[in-house]
Amino acid sequence: MAAVTGSTVTEVAPNAGVKVIQVVTPATADNGDTVAVDLTDYGASNIHGILGFTESTTGSVVITEAPTTSVSSGTLTITIGGSTANKVRTFIIYAY
């Protein structure tokens, strides 16, 4: 398990009643790796939910994935689930 670096984090819908944040990892993300997101950068400190996806075939076949999460002091830690290594992961976070 390692920390994933080089992810892009984008606030998708800033005025939807909750913050919708998209995180896309590089293609080096493996099962059990972690991604840290500072929710305070987006005016949030907790999450309502998260959706996880992996590209099993780059840009073509996308499957759902169930990450595990924890929030401490406004930092969300996402632990990648699934059963594939070296794939792009996308997470949609609903934060408040």
State the pLDDT confidence band at 87, using cuts at 50, 70 and 90: very high
Position 49 scores a pLDDT of 95
More confident residue, 88 or 12: 88
Does residue 15 carry a pLDDT above 70? no
Gyration radius of the chain over CA positions: 13
Quote the CA–CA distance of 77 and 73 in Å, as a whole number.
11
Q: Using one digit for the tens of pLDDT, what is the confidence trace for 17-72? A: 788 999 999 999 999 999 999 999 999 999 999 999 998 887 788 899 999 999 99
Quote the CA–CA distance of 49 and 47 in Å, as a whole number.
6
